[in-house]
Amino acid sequence: MSDPLLIYGATGYSGGLMVEGALARGLRPIVAGRDETKVRGLAERLGLEPRVARLADTAALDAALRGVRVVLHSAGPYYETATPMVEACLRAGAHYLDIAGEIPVIEALARRHAEARRRGVMIMPSVGFDVVPTDCLAAHVAARLPGARRLVLAISGLRFTSRASAKTAFQHAFDGVRVRRGGQVVLVPWGELHRAFDYGDGPRESIACTWGDVGTAWYTTGIPDVAVYFEATAPLRMLELAGRYFGWFLRTPLWQVWLKAHADALPEGPTEEERGAKGMVVIAEVEDVHGRRVQSRLRTPEAYAVTGVTGPAVAARVLGGDF
């Protein structure tokens, strides 16, 4: 018998990891997606219930959510897919979770909080690596320094990306870098924000990048100024240079088609061996108006391995009434 948890996009890379994570927790999720052959094949292999629906097919989507209490949505890009699934969840009275990292999506979902509360359900984006460990660490340091006005997060160890994540990133990577200032999300030019962080083996240059915490940390901590940095690896330096000098060109439709075609040639995601090889380091630092600073550091497994655990863990808590 299935648990009332539906994982949509279950045949994708991250969705598959979360199905495995749910099974490891003793849950029996319903696996769902738009490709009937893939969904039924996965369900048969794992002995789970399949449901098939395209997000544009309202009737089929409503039927897929019948009897479901929690949806774990893992089919991006979320700037296209979040709204129809949220609408379906509101109609069905089901809680909505996803692993989105797109800041405009996070902001749009936050604006639907009151509506969801009236329906007795919760909308919670970003329950994967983006942003569970960073958001928890942000809450931790904010509690250590009440009244902090600035939050900086830094991440080291992000060596792999899934094919789907790369395609989503290319959509907005060359717009600039999103940060939060005075409570508002703003764009700053690539290369404007650099800083060194000690991830455990001495200072390492890091570059400000767009990341989901710029959206979520404001709601978690109330801190109005937020920026996220990544260790300045060679690929990130190349991305920064491309965004800084050729961003206007790489945003054109022709180059966007080429970049997404290039993403299609990437591996689906890191292998099990790669996910287990080396983990991540996350730093959170807050500062108040008097210049006092508090910093904490956290080590985690590889990013996609974290998503495979945190998504089902959050879903299990919501199923248990923690919402």
The sign of the torsion formed by the CA atoms of 39, 18, 101, 268 equals negative
Mean model confidence pLDDT for the chain: 93
225-235 pLDDT, tens digit per residue, is 999 999 999 98
Report whether pLDDT(100) > 70.
yes
User: Quick one: average pLDDT of 212-222?
Assistant: 98
Helix axes 253-264, 163-172, angle to 10 degrees: 160
227-280 pLDDT, tens digit per residue, is 999 999 998 898 888 888 777 767 778 777 776 776 677 778 889 999 998 899
**Total residues found in the chain within this entry:** 323
CA pair distance 320, 323, nearest whole angstrom: 9
Instruction: Say what percent of the chain tops pLDDT 70.
Output: 97
164-200 pLDDT, tens digit per residue, is 776 677 767 778 999 999 999 999 999 899 999 999 9
Q: Which domains does the chain have, with CATH numbers?
A: 5-125 (3.40.50.720), 132-303 (3.30.360.10)
Radius of gyration over alpha carbons of the chain, in Å? Answer: 20
For residue 40, report the phi and psi dihedrals to the nearest 5 degrees: -70, -35
CA pair distance 262, 167, nearest whole angstrom: 9
Please state the pTM of the whole predicted model: 0.94
User: Quick one: average pLDDT of 315-320?
Assistant: 98
Residue 167 is predicted with a pLDDT of 65
Residue 161 is predicted with a pLDDT of 73
Non-local CB neighbours of 319 within 8 Å, separated by 6+ positions: 3, 4, 5, 27, 69, 70
